[in-house]
Structure 1
Amino acid sequence: MGSDSDFKNGRYLYYSRGGDYCKGMNQYMWSFLCALGEAQYLNRTFVMDLSICLASSHTSSHKDEEGKDFRFYFDFEHLKETASIVEEGDFHKDWRKWNKAHKKKISVRKVKDYKVSPDQLLKDKSTIIWRQFDAPEPENYWYRVCEGPSAKYIQRPWHAVWKSKRLMNIVTEISGSMDWDFDVVHVVRGEKAQNKALWPHLDADTSPDSLVTKLQGIITPWRNLYVATNEPYYNYFDKLRSHYKVHLLDDYNYLWSNTSEWYNETTQLNGGSLVEFDGYMRVEVDTEVLYRAKSRVETFYNLTKDCKDGINTC
C-alpha cells in the first residue's frame, strides 16, 4: 500500500471470517461477491483473505481442507484490475506498522450485525469499517449483508471473477485435442445417485446401458464425446466407446502431472509445497469444456426426470 500516509488516507472494508468458511464454493462465491459489491458501493478497498477452506464434497480426504489459495481456482490478477483489493496479510502489516509509529490510532468502526445496512455506512468517515460475523449460523453468513432492501443497490461484480489462467490453459489443451469439434454429456452421479429417497431414478437413468440408449438418439455416432462427470470409476463409461470417441478428464492427467506447467506454477504459488488437483478444479475444467461443446446433454434435462434439487423441486 506504500507509505504510512497512503494507509491512513485509504478507506477499507474488512470482513471477519464467518460461517461461510468451509461451505460449498457456490456459497463462498455468493458471499464473497456480496462483500466485494458492498466495498464498491461504499467506495472502499476490500481487505481480502486469499485462504480458502475447500468443502469436503470436493476433497479426496472427504474432509473440509483449509489453507487452499484463492489463486488456485480464480484469476487474482484480473480481480485486482477490476476491483480495489488489498491482501489481508499486507493490510495487517501496514496497520501494525502505523500503530507502532503513531500515538493516534487508525479510526475503526466495528459492525457486529449484518442488519446494519450498507447505506447506513455510506457517510462513515472511519478508515476501517470492520464487519464482524460472530453470531451463530445462519446469522453469520456474509451474504446476509446483501439481503432485503440492500439487494436493490448492492451489485455483485460477477465480471470481476474469472477462472484461473492455469486451469483455463488445461481447458484449451483438452478442447484443442478434440479439434474444438466435440459434444459433451454431463453425467451427475456421486452422492445423488446413491440417495434414492431424493433422486429415485438417477442411478438407473445414468447407468451405462441407459446412457448408450439415450445418447444414441441425440448425438451422432463416432463424434468426439467428452464426459463431464463426478463418477469416480474410470471404466464406468466403457460401453459408450462402441459408439463414440470418448474423452474423460483423467485422459488428460498429464496436464497436471509433475512435469506440467500447472504443477510448476501452483507449487511455486504454494511456497514449494505440492498442490492437489482437487475436486473443485475438476468441476471448473469440466464446466469450461462443456461450454465449448457443439452440443450438450444435461443430466437433469435430458437423461433423467428426477429434479435437480431432489423430489418435488422441479
Structure 2
Amino acid sequence: MDPSRSLQGRGALLSSSVHAAAGVLVVVVVLLLLTLLRLPLSISRHAASTVADQELSQPSCDPTSPLDCADPQLFHLMMRSAIDAFPAVHFSRFGRPVPGDPPSASCDMAWRARSDSDSPSKATSKDYRRFAIARDPHTCAYSVLYIGDYHSGPNARKPRRAATIAPPPPPSLSHSQFAQGAYLAYLGGGDRCKPMPHYLRSLLCALAEARYLNRTLVLDLTLCLAASYDDAGTGPMPEEGKRLAFYVDVEHLHSQGPIIEESQFWADWDKWGVQGQLGARLIEDTRLAPMKFSKARDTLLVRKFGDVEPGNYWYNVCEGEAKRVFRPLRRAIRWAPNLMRIVDDIVSRMQADFDSVHIGANGEHLSRRIEEGVDGGRQVYVAGAGVNTTLLEALKVKFGVHYLDEYEDLWGTDSKWFLEMKRLNGGVPVQFDGYMREVVDREVFLKGKKKVEVLR
C-alpha cells in the first residue's frame, strides 16, 4: 500500500471538514444577525415577488370603453376646466356629467351661470356643453382636450315634458252630467279658409263670450286654412282637414275656459237634447250683445251666422257694446309644443347671444342694414317671407348669417317632429306648411338679443 494515498485522502477529508465547519459557522452568524435585525429570511425572493405584484396591480385603460362620467375625479376636473376656460362667467351650479357621443371619449355637463355682460338683474342662464376627454392608457389619468360650443352637450339637457298635440279625450258624459252643463255654439260664419290671424281673432272672440256667459264653448277642432299656407305658397285651393292642435297648444286653450269638441257635443245632444228634455235658444242676430241674454237658463245657446261677409265673421260679436265687458284673452293662444321644440332646437344651434333681422317682401339694402344694426362678429338670424337665399349665402362670407331653411332637418321625414306628428295624427303624415314656417321663423327672430326690422 502506498502510504501517501491515505495521507492525501485524509488531507482532503480534513479540508472538506474545515470548509464545512466554516460554512456552518457563517450560516449560524448570518441567521443570528437576521434574527437580531428581524430581517426577512429571503431578501431576494421577497423583492422579486413585490416587483411582480406591482406590475400585476398596475392599472391599464381601454380607450374604447365608455367613460365613467359619474367618477367624482372626472366631475371635479370638468368643473375646474370650465371655470378656467370661461373666466368672465360666474357659475352658480353644475349638473352631474352624463355620457356624451361617443361615450368612450366625451361627457356632457350642464350648468347655470351669469356672465359679466348680463344685465344687473343677476339672472342666470342655462348651458350644456360637451367635454372631449382623454385617458392615459397606463395611469387612467383624465384630461380635458376641449370644451364644445354653446349647447353642444344635449345629453345633459333636462328632459322636457313630453310634447302633446292634444289632451286625451274626456270620458263620455252621463245624461245628468250633460244636462247640468250650459253650452254656447256658433253655427256657420265666413271664418273658414281664411288666414290664420283671422281665424285666431274669431276664436278668441268666441272664447271671450263663452267665458262671459259662463258656458262651455262648442268648438270644431278642425279648420281650413287659406291656400297661401301650402308648402310652396302658391296652392290653388284652401287646405281643409287641418287640426287646431297642429298650431296651437290645445291643452292650454282648455285651461282658459271649458271647451267641448263639436262632434262629441252633437252626439250627446242627439241622445238627450232633441227629445225636448233640454232647452235650446237660437240667436240669429249676431249684433245682439251677450248682455241681453246673459241670464238665459237654456242648456244651449246657438249663435247662427249668415252667409254675407264680412258681417258673418265671429269676431264681430265682440265689437260695439260687448267690447266694454269682455276681458282680453290674448294669452289664451300658445303655440303647439312641437313647434316650439323646433324653435328651441334652432336657437340651441346658434351662439348664446345672437342678433336677428326681419326683412319685408324683399331684401333690399340688407347687407347695409346688417352692418348698421348688429355688432360685428355676432351671428345673425334673418327672418321673413321671400328671403333671397342666394343673397344670404353671399353674406355668410362677411357675417355669420343663418336662416330657416338651414334647419329643415328638424321637420324632415326622419325628424322627431315629423314622426311625433304622424303618430299623433293617426299615422297620417303632417306637412310642415307655410303657417308653421311663419310661426317658427317669427319666434326665432323674437329670441334675438338685438332685433332689426328691414322694410321695403
- Give SS of 1:242's match: coil
- Give SS of 2:282's match: strand
Answer yes or no: is 1:152 the counterpart of 2:324: yes
Gaps of 5+ in 2: 1-171
Structure 1 match to 2:272: 98
Question: What TM-score do the two structures reach when normalised by structure 1?
Answer: 0.85
Structure 2 match to 1:298: 453
Bigger relative contact order, structure 1 or 2, given CA contacts below 8 A and separation 6+? 1
RMSD, matched Cα = 1.6
Q: Distance in 2 between matches of 1:22 and 1:127?
A: 30
Superposed CA offset, 1:195-246 (max 9, x none) = xxxxxxxx4xx23xx2112211111233211111211653242232122111
Residue range with higher mean Cα deviation, 257-266 or 288-297: 257-266
Structure 2 match to 1:243: 398
Given that 2:273 and 2:279 are in contact with CA atoms closer than 8 Å, whether structure 1 keeps it comes out as no
Bigger Rg, structure 1 or 2: 2
Q: Distance in 2 between matches of 1:143 and 1:155?
A: 14
Answer yes or no: is 1:31 the counterpart of 2:186: no
Residue range with higher mean Cα deviation, 57-66 or 167-176: 57-66
Given that 1:107 and 1:126 are in contact with CA atoms closer than 8 Å, whether structure 2 keeps it comes out as yes
Superposed CA offset, 1:60-100 (max 9, x none) = 32531111110000101111122111111111121122258
- Give SS of 1:298's match: strand
Q: Distance in 2 between matches of 1:218 and 1:33?
A: 36
Answer yes or no: is 1:220 the counterpart of 2:368: no
Gaps of 5+ in 1: 190-202, 305-314
Offset of 1:266 from its aligned partner?
Answer: 1.4
Alignment of 1:1-314 (within 5 A): 1-59=172-230, 60=232, 61-99=235-273, 103-189=275-361, 203=362, 206-207=363-364, 210-231=365-386, 233-300=388-455, 304=456
Superposed CA offset, 1:135-177 (max 9, x none) = 4001100011011111000123122211000000011101111
Pick closer, same or farther for the CA change 1:232–1:289 going to 2, 3 Å.
closer
Given that 1:34 and 1:156 are in contact with CA atoms closer than 8 Å, whether structure 2 keeps it comes out as no
Offset of 1:54 from its aligned partner?
Answer: 1.1
Q: Distance in 1 between matches of 2:394 and 2:236?
A: 29
Residue range with higher mean Cα deviation, 232-241 or 160-169: 232-241
Amino acid at match of 1:276: Q
Amino acid at match of 2:417: W
Given that 2:354 and 2:380 are in contact with CA atoms closer than 8 Å, whether structure 1 keeps it comes out as yes
Amino acid at match of 2:212: Y
- Give SS of 2:451's match: strand
Pick closer, same or farther for the CA change 1:162–1:127 going to 2, 3 Å.
same
Q: Distance in 1 between matches of 2:402 and 2:372?
A: 19
Pick closer, same or farther for the CA change 1:120–1:135 going to 2, 3 Å.
farther
Q: Distance in 1 between matches of 2:346 and 2:285?
A: 47
Question: What TM-score do the two structures reach when normalised by structure 2?
Answer: 0.60
Given that 1:15 and 1:47 are in contact with CA atoms closer than 8 Å, whether structure 2 keeps it comes out as yes
Amino acid at match of 2:285: D
Amino acid at match of 1:10: G
Amino acid at match of 1:261: K
Offset of 1:122 from its aligned partner?
Answer: 0.2
Amino acid at match of 1:46: L
Amino acid at match of 1:299: V
Superposed CA offset, 1:231-288 (max 9, x none) = 1653242232122111111111111112222112211232211111011001111111
Q: Distance in 2 between matches of 1:22 and 1:299?
A: 30
- Give SS of 1:23's match: coil
Sequence identity (%): 40
- Give SS of 2:369's match: helix
Paired residues, what number? Answer: 282
Q: Distance in 2 between matches of 1:111 and 1:213?
A: 57
Superposed CA offset, 1:4-59 (max 9, x none) = 11111100010123111111111111111011000000000011111111112222
Q: Distance in 2 between matches of 1:30 and 1:180?
A: 34
Given that 1:227 and 1:247 are in contact with CA atoms closer than 8 Å, whether structure 2 keeps it comes out as yes
